[in-house]
Structure 1
Amino acid sequence: MAQANLLSPPSQIPPPVALQLSQKAPPILAAPPTSSLPWPLSLLFTRETPESWAIHENLFLASIRTGDDASARQILDRLTARFGEDNERIVTMHGIYEEALAKDDKALERIFEAYEKILRDDPTNFGVRKRRVAVLKSLGRTADAITALTVLVENSPIDAEAWAELSELYAGVGAWGQAIFSMEEVLLIMPNSWSAHAQVATLHYLSSPTSLPALSLALRHFARSVELNEYYLRGYYGLKLVAEKLIPLLSDSSSSNAKRNTDDDDVPPPNLASVKKLDELATSKLAEIVRQYGSGKKGWTGFDEAEVIAARELLDRK
């Protein structure tokens, strides 16, 4: 279960936990800052640690996420006093704060122009480059956002976050080949990321939900995701969904047609017996998660409720 830990990035935790984090702002802000001196003098007269400022940054992000703009402003002011307004990370956080306050497209356009000015002065500020992409997305300028991200990954080819964002944008416009390629780049950087494997599988499935080659690849990646994380609900959900699609395609009545459809592909179809076993495994695991979550058993309540409901509905079809 996700815990309200201020050393965990709020973007990676569920909304209820982010709310718990943001509620910690008043007592933290009531205490004096770790140091009122600018760096590096602060290092000489305090015992500050990187964790103390990571807490402040994550509290800022949690406050922004939950709409506590006043606390976010105070935290940002404290961080700015500590690290200076020209610090790249602080510049990016100021941009995030302004984006959160933007009420309409005109305000977002002004923020975009501010980002453009910053990048003209410092083209290497990748934090601002990413925020620029976020503004383009908010303005509905998807093509421009894709172009901006393409330039970003060309200059920083091991930025997994940028590749994942690019994949999402390509998928949004139905460019499945580019979306899959971009997500596979994430796997090259993070080969043991079960969520990345599940996302690649999802893209293969969505690109052609009746194609044997696409379903075969989806099955492989979903299977790898649960191999890496035996409690990964989304992986088991996808595994069962794909297995149910594959079983009739691989059955005796349609195997000859399926074989002809894969003659020009490099992906060999999976064994029917193996697919049935994977379907049984996924069914068993999903049923266990749904049952234990519903009972409120300790250690089983950290799953996303919407995902558990979806898993229950998938099981109820049978």
Structure 2
Amino acid sequence: MAPSALQPPTRLSPAAALALSQQAPAILRSSTSIAYPPPLNKLLSGSENSEKWLQYENLIMSCLRTGDDQAAHACLRRLIVRFGDDNERVQALRGLVKEAEARNNGALEEVLKEYNQILSGNDTNIPIAKRRIALLRSMGRLSDATSALVQLLDFSPTDAEAWSELSDIYVSQGMYSQAIYAMEEVLVLAPNAWNIHARLGELQYMAATAPGVASGSYQQYMAEAIKRFSRSIELCDDYLRGYYGLKLVTKRLLIEGALAAKQTEGSEFTLPDTNTIERLNELATAKLSEIVRRSLSHDRGWRGYSEGDIAVARDLLGEDESQVTR
């Protein structure tokens, strides 16, 4: 099935992004070549179609990924005519196009100057602020990107995307406790997001297995990882990443015999007993096996998993010495 221009482009595989960008000429031809600015658009263009403008935004990003700058500019021009050159989202998309076309750090510095100039006139321009942060990070200026994110969150503390980005930056620097704190803020804003629970479990596991972690901290992180992965699969019964993380954590605990380690009395982070860990491991193994088997068999309703996720799940299952009962 051909990808839709209404799909979030960040979720598309490289092959899907290429297929979508190849649709750009046909999509541009099928829609009117004139985009009237308001209020003329209501008089001359008929009823507004928000999906068309979303199509153009998504096409810009897919075309930039595949090097079709001409089609990206064509989509951008229509958005500029419709919404105006001063529209914040349009400004961010224009900046994104310039970033993609930059051939050296000097060109990127010029784009950064433009972002700084826009923000000097309007420091509440969130789309530009986020593009500036993304550009700083891509240029390796992690300290500046972190400071800019903290400033953004001071202004907009309920921005889950910004908290998630801050967490990711901390992870890239091995600052796991800070990354966990930032991801917990995301969870406050989206308490039933199973992917966020699983991501937090991954961060806890990474912190637990980092070099030099203390025994008490190890148990605390592993106990929290189990809770987070368990909650993720409670919220989404077929969530591969949640079952993968649960199996990874329980398998490590069983192999290393960490359950026998002395735990702090009265600690809220006490690990489950050995029997519970074994049962959780068996549950995760059985469910992962089912997901892998049905996905590889292309069963209806089991085709939404990526090939990469299925491959790593299959590798993890293959590490078990005992044969998995299917």
Could you tell which deviates more after superposition, 241-250 or 69-78? 241-250
1:263: Cα distance to partner? 4.0
User: Which residue of structure 2 aligns with residue 258 of structure 1?
Assistant: 262
1:317: Cα distance to partner? 0.8
Q: For 1:289 and 1:241, how far apart are their aligned partners in 2?
A: 16
1:244: Cα distance to partner? 0.9
User: Which residue of structure 2 aligns with residue 300 of structure 1?
Assistant: 302
Alpha carbons 1:244, 1:279 under 8 Å: kept: yes
Could you tell which deviates more after superposition, 59-68 or 279-288? 59-68
Q: For 1:44 and 1:34, how far apart are their aligned partners in 2?
A: 16
User: Which residue of structure 2 aligns with residue 36 of structure 1?
Assistant: 35
User: Which residue of structure 1 aligns with residue 248 of structure 2?
Assistant: 241
User: Which residue of structure 1 aligns with residue 324 of structure 2?
Assistant: none
Q: For 1:224 and 1:213, how far apart are their aligned partners in 2?
A: 17
- After TM superposition, the structure 1 = structure 2 runs for residues 30-179 of structure 1, keeping only pairs within 5 Å, are 30-33=29-32, 35-45=34-44, 46-179=46-179
- After TM superposition, the structure 1 = structure 2 runs for residues 150-229 of structure 1, keeping only pairs within 5 Å, are 150-209=150-209, 211-229=218-236
1:278: Cα distance to partner? 1.4
The normalised TM-score by structure 2 is 0.90
Question: Could you say what secondary structure the match of 1:17 adopts?
Answer: helix
More RCO (CA 8 Å, sep 6+):
1
- Paired AA for residue 30 in structure 1: R
CA offsets 1:205-261 (integer angstroms, 9 cap, x no match): 11112712111100111111111222211111111000112235667xx53x332xx
Alpha carbons 1:35, 1:48 under 8 Å: kept: no
CA offsets 1:65-110 (integer angstroms, 9 cap, x no match): 2322111110001111111111111000000100111111111111
Q: For 1:213 and 1:248, how far apart are their aligned partners in 2?
A: 18
1:296: Cα distance to partner? 2.6
Seen in structure 2, the aligned counterparts of structure 1 residues 142 and 264 have a Cα distance that, compared at 3 Å, is farther
* Percent identity of equivalent pairs: 42
Could you tell which deviates more after superposition, 183-192 or 2-11? 2-11
Q: For 1:23 and 1:227, how far apart are their aligned partners in 2?
A: 40
Question: Could you say what secondary structure the match of 1:202 adopts?
Answer: helix
Aligned residues: 312
Alpha carbons 2:2, 2:19 under 8 Å: kept: no
Seen in structure 2, the aligned counterparts of structure 1 residues 180 and 235 have a Cα distance that, compared at 3 Å, is same
The normalised TM-score by structure 1 is 0.92
Q: For 1:11 and 1:244, how far apart are their aligned partners in 2?
A: 32
1:3: Cα distance to partner? 7.2
CA offsets 1:22-44 (integer angstroms, 9 cap, x no match): 22211111134375321122023
Q: Which runs of 5+ in 1 are unaligned?
A: none
Q: Which runs of 5+ in 2 are unaligned?
A: 210-214, 321-326
